[in-house]
A and B are shown apart, each in its own frame.
Chain A
C-alpha cells in the first residue's frame, strides 16, 4: 500500500531546495518507525515521491508526497507517527491511504493555485487584471530544459483575481504546459507598465482533473 501525505512547507523553510527537502523527509520517515520501503542496491534509500517540486523560495500550504509502505498501517496511526517525526516547520496536515495501483500523484497533476502577497498594490489593480485577461494571446518566453521558448501563456491561466494586496491565481502545472507564477507576474506587470514589486508567492493547492472542473489532487 501507499500513503499520500499532505504537508505544509512553511515560509521559514522556503529557501530549502527540493533535494534537501527530500532528504529531510527521508530522515523523518526513518525517525518515524513506520514500515517504510527502501530502494535496492549498494546505497539503499527511503522510497518516496513528491507530486511536484517546489521552487526554491516558495512555501507550500498543501504539498503532497507519496510513501510506499512494506506493511499496512491505518491512516490514524500513520499520521500520529509521522507527525512526531516531522520538524515544526514541515507539519503533516492529512494523510490518505491508497492501494498500490493508485496512479502516482505526479501523473494526475494538472494545475496549482498560488497566492502572491504584495506589500501594496494600486487601488485599481483589479481593472488592470481584467484588461490583462481580455487579451486573446499573451506571448511570453518560457525557460525549458531545451532553452528559452516563446509561447502563449493565456490558455494556461485559469484564474487570476485580486483581493486587497493579494493576487490569487490558478495556473497549468503539468509536463505539457507549465506556467510558473513568476512568469505570469513578470508578464502582468510588464502589461501594467509597472516595475514588479516584491511579493511572497505561496503554492496553496495542487490540482488534478481538467479545467474548469479542477479537484484537489489528494482527493482524486
Chain B
C-alpha cells in the first residue's frame, strides 16, 4: 500500500505502523501534512536539513507566525530545507512509543534524528517538557552532553530564549533576538562545519562567534551558599562574555512569507497574518514582549499591501489579521485598513485587528473591520484602579475604557472581554474591588445607550490571570504572590464580580507559580524539568495533563525550593541568571522604572520623547532623536 505521494522516509514497517496508529488516535489530521503551500524538497539536493519543532500540538503550532517566517526563510535557500515537526497529543505520543514509531516531520515523514539541525521555538515556559518529549520520541538524547557528532545540532530561539538557562543542559545553541536576522548565519556555520568534518564542539565554538548566539556548554555558572548565582563566565575563548540580541533593522526589507501552508484541519488562528509592526513604545512594566521586541519598527504600506495581495492569492484564506503588539500605534492604520477593505470586499475577505489598546481604538476602524464579519472585542485594562495602572505604567484611564466600550456598543457589539492581572506589585484589596467597579461601569455604559441602538444580550467577561514576573522587565526583581494569597484574592474577586451580565474567568495559580520558577530560573532548573518529564510531565499547558504534584516532587528530588525562584524579591545587587544577555534595554533603565513603579509615577510613551531605555547605543531606534520631555506630562497627553 502506498499512502503518501512522493517518497516516504520512515522505513516501510514504521510507515505501516504509523498508518495503523492514525486509525486509533484523536484528530489524525494533525499528523498528515500535505497542506497547500507546504514545501516538499528533495533531500538529496540540499546540504542542510532543518527540523522546525514547535513544542505543542499541530493546531497551536500552525497558528504561530514565527514558524511561518523562518520556514519560508530557510526554504528560500537552495542549499537547505526546512520541515515542520509538532508535539503529538498524548494518545499519539504513547502509541508511537509503544509501536516504536519515531517522531517525524510533516513534509517527508523523516525521523527527527535524521535532520542536521533540530530547532525549537520557545514561546512559553510550560512547553519545556514537550521539548524533552519530542527529542526522546525523535530518538535523540535529551541532554546535550550525551549527543555526539552523529546527532543533529539542537538549537532554540524565541522570547523564552532571553533566559535560556533552564534549558541550558538540553540545547546546543540559542539564538537571541529576531530569528530572521541570525538564522542564515547559523545555518552557514553548521553547513561549513559539516563540510569540513569539524567535531560538534568545534562547530559550536564557531557558532558562539556569531553575534546573538549563546552556546551554554562554553559557560560556567557558580552559586553562593544561599543559592544565588555567584559568577557566570565563559570557559572558552570563543565565547563572548555578553551575548547581544539580534535586531532586524529594516522590517520592510526583511524576509516575510508570501505563501504559508494552509491546514486542512481547523487550527486556533486559522487565517493569514500580516505583521504590520514589531515592538512597542508604551513601556508597560509587566510586559516582557514590550521590552524584548524593542525598538519599534513598522512595515511600509507598500510592502504590506504587496504581501497582503500575495498571501490572499496563495492561501485563499477568508480572513486577514493585522498583527503587532499594539496595532493602534501603527502610523498609517486607518489608511491601511480602508485600502485592505477596498481591495478585498469583492473577494469576501474580512480584516481583523487583535491587540488594540483601549486608548486608541479608532471608532472608524471598528466599523470598517466588521463590515464583512463581526468578531468579539477584547480590551485589557490589566488593573482595577488608576493607582495600580500607574504602577504598571499602563497609560489608560477609566474614561478611555468607557469611551471604547461605548463606541463598541454603539457599533453593534454586545459582548466585551476584559483582561486583568492579579498579584501585581503593590496590589491591595481596593484594586480588586476596582475590577468589580469597572465591570459594573461597562455594563452601565451599555444600558446608557438608547434602547434601539443596543444589540441584545450584553455580556462582560472579566478574565484575571496571575502575574508572573519576567526577565528584562522592571518587575524582574519582584516577588510573585504565593498560591495561598492568589486563592484568597480569587475568592474575593469572585465576590466582587458576582454581578448581572458579568462573567468571571480565572487562571490556574499552580501553573503560574511554576511558570514564574522557570521564567526566572537558573541552570539547575534544567534538572527539575528533566526530573518532572521523567515522572510523566508533558503537555503542562493542557489542564488535563498538568501534574502539579509531580512538579513539586521534582523540585524536592533536585533539592531546590520553588519559593526561592517564585516568591523571593531579588536585591538589585544580585547577579541574575540572564544578565549576560544584552537585550538592548539596560539594567539601569529597568531599575529606574521599577523605582518609578514603587512611587506610582508614569513614564510616557517614547514616541513623545526618548526615555533612554538603552537602545540608543545601537542606533536602531527611530525615536532616539525625539527630545526627552522636560516636564512630566499630564496623563491625558500621554494617552493621546
Binding site for B on A (CB under 8 A): 10-13, 15-17, 20-21, 23-24, 26-31, 33, 38, 42-45, 57, 85-89, 117, 198, 200
Contact status A16-B265, CB under 8 Å: yes
Instruction: Count how many chain B residues have C-beta atoms less than 8 Å from C-beta atoms of the other chain.
Output: 31
Interchain CB contact under 8 A, B2 and A11: yes
Complex contact A27–B36 (CB within 8 A): yes
Cα–Cα distance between A86 and B35 once the two chains are bound (Å): 10
Q: Please, which residue of chain B has its CB at the minimum distance from the CB of A59?
A: B3
Q: A38 contacts B348, CB within 8 Å?
A: yes
Asked if residues A117 and B316 are in contact (CB atoms below 8 Å), the reply is no
The docked-state distance in angstroms from the alpha carbon of A45 to that of B318 is 9
- CB atoms of A13 and B316 under 8 A apart: no
Bound-state CA distance A41–B546 (Å) is: 43
Q: Are A30 and B1 neighbours in the complex by a CB distance under 8 Å?
A: no
In the docked arrangement, what's the CA distance between A21 and B20, Å? 22
| Cβ–Cβ contact A27 & B265, under 8 A | no
| Docked pose: A13 CA to B28 CA in angstroms | 10
In the assembled complex, 14 residue pairs joining A and B whose CB atoms fall closer than 8 Å, in A order, are A11-B3, A12-B33, A15-B29, A16-B32, A16-B264, A27-B315, A27-B316, A27-B317, A27-B318, A42-B374, A45-B348, A87-B34, A87-B36, A88-B40
Residues in A neighbouring B252, C-beta threshold 8 A = none
User: Are B23 and A88 touching (Cβ within 8 A)?
Assistant: no
Q: How far is the CB of A84 from chain B (nearest CB, A)?
A: 11
Contact of A43 among B20, B266, B373 (CB under 8 A): B373
Given contacts A27-B317, A30-B347, contact A20 B34 (CB under 8 A): no
Complex interface: chain B residues within 8 A of A33 (CB): 313
Contact, CB under 8 Å: A20 / B264: yes
B313 A31 Cβ-Cβ under 8 A: yes
Q: Say whether B5 faces chain A, with CB atoms less than 8 Å apart.
A: yes
B262 CB-CB contact with A under 8 Å: yes
Distance (whole angstroms) from the CB of A90 to the closest CB of chain B: 9
A51 to chain B minimum Cβ distance, whole angstroms, is: 20
A79 to B32, CA, bound (A): 26
Known contacts A11-B2, A15-B22, A87-B36; A30/B316 CB under 8 A? yes
Interface status of B4 (Cβ within 8 A of chain A) = yes
* B349: nearest chain-A partner, CB-CB: A30
Residue B314, interface by CB 8 Å:
yes
* Inter-subunit contact A117/B1 (CB<8 Å): yes
Q: In the bound complex, how far is the Cα of B22 from the Cα of A198, in angstroms?
A: 13
User: Which residues of B approach A to under 8 Å, CB–CB?
Assistant: 1-5, 20, 22-23, 28-29, 32-36, 40, 262, 264-266, 313-318, 347-348, 372-374
Q: Enumerate chain B residues within 8 angstroms of A117, measured Cβ to Cβ.
A: 1
**Which of B3, B4, B29, B372 is close to A16, meaning CB atoms less than 8 Å apart?**
B29
Quote the shortest CB–CB distance from B344 to chain A (angstroms): 11
Excluding A27-B318, A31-B316, 11 further A-B contacts by CB distance (< 8 Å) are: A11-B1, A11-B4, A12-B32, A15-B22, A20-B265, A24-B36, A28-B316, A30-B316, A30-B347, A45-B318, A57-B23
Question: CB within 8 A of A89: which of B5, B29, B372?
Answer: B5
B316 touches A29 (CB 8 A): yes
Quick check: B318 and A30 within 8 Å, CB to CB? yes
Given known pairs A20-B266, A30-B347, A44-B348, the reply for A13 and B315 (CB within 8 Å) is no
Closest to B38 in A: A87
Closest to A32 in B: B316
Q: Which B residue's beta carbon lies closest to that of A24?
A: B264
In the bound complex, do residue A13 and residue B266 qualify as a contact, i.e. CB atoms below 8 Å apart? no
**Closest CB of chain A to B7's CB: distance in Å?**
13
Smallest beta-carbon distance B216→chain A, Å? 39
The interface residues of chain A lying within 8 Å CB-to-CB of B40 are 88
**A30-B347, A87-B36 are known contacts. Are A17 and B29 too (CB-CB below 8 A)?**
yes
Do the beta carbons of B264 and A12 come within 8 Å of each other?
no
Is the CB–CB distance between B5 and A198 below 8 Å? no
List, in ascending order, chain B residues with CB within 8 A of A17's CB. 29
Contacts of B32 in A (CB 8 A): 12-13, 15-16
Residues of chain B within 8 A (CB-CB) of A44 are 348, 372
Residues of A within 8 A of B36 (CB): 24, 27-28, 31, 86-87
Chain B's nearest CB lies how many Å from the CB of A45?
Answer: 8
Residues of A within 8 A of B20 (CB): 198
Q: What residues on A are CB-neighbors of B1 within 8 Å?
A: 11, 117, 200
Known: A27-B316, A30-B316, A89-B34. A20 touches B29 (CB 8 A): yes
Question: Which residue in chain A gives the minimum CB-CB distance to B348?
Answer: A44
On whether the beta carbons of B348 and A10 are closer than 8 Å, the reply is: no
Tell me the smallest distance from the CB of A189 to a CB of chain B, in Å: 17
Q: Which residues of chain A have C-beta atoms less than 8 A from B372's C-beta?
A: 44
Measured between C-beta atoms, what is the minimum distance from A24 to chain B in Å? 5
Residues in chain B near residue A13, CB distance under 8 A: 32, 34, 264
Please indicate the chain B residues that have their CB under 8 angstroms from the CB of A31 in the complex: 36, 313-316
Smallest distance from the beta carbon of A47 to chain B beta carbons, Å?
12
Distance (whole angstroms) from the CB of A118 to the closest CB of chain B: 10
Query: Are the CB atoms of B5 and A12 closer together than 8 Å?
Result: yes
A43 to B318, CA, bound (A): 10
Whether B316 lies near A12 (C-beta < 8 A) is: no
- Across the two chains, which residue of chain A brings its CB closest to B25? A15
Of chain B, the residue at the smallest CB distance from A198 is: B20
B373 CB to nearest A CB, Å: 6
A12-B3 contact given A31-B313, A57-B23, CB 8 Å threshold: yes
Give every chain B residue within 8 A of A16 (Cβ-Cβ).
29, 32, 264-265
Contacts of B316 in A (CB 8 A): 26-31, 85
Q: Which 8 residue pairs are nearest across A and B when measured between Cβ atoms?
A: A27-B316, A30-B316, A31-B316, A15-B28, A87-B36, A11-B3, A44-B348, A89-B34
- Which residues of B lie under 8 Å from residue A86 when comparing CB positions? 36
Closest CB of chain B to A194's CB: distance in Å?
19
Nearest chain-A residue to B16 (Cβ)?
A119
Q: How far is the CA of A13 from the CA of B315 in the complex (A)?
A: 18
How many angstroms between the C-alpha atoms of A87 and B316 in the bound complex?
12
- CB-CB < 8 A to B262: which residues of A? 24, 27
Determine the distance from Cα of A210 to Cα of B2 in the docked complex, in whole angstroms.
Answer: 34
Please give, as numbers and ranges, the residues of chain B lying within 8 Å of A43 by CB-CB distance. 373
CA distance A87 to B373 in the complex (A): 27
Distance (whole angstroms) from the CB of A177 to the closest CB of chain B: 28
Determine the residue in chain A with the shortest Cβ distance to B313.
Answer: A31
Q: What is the minimal beta-carbon distance from B518 to any residue of chain A, in angstroms?
A: 35
Shortest beta-carbon distance from B137 to chain A in Å: 20
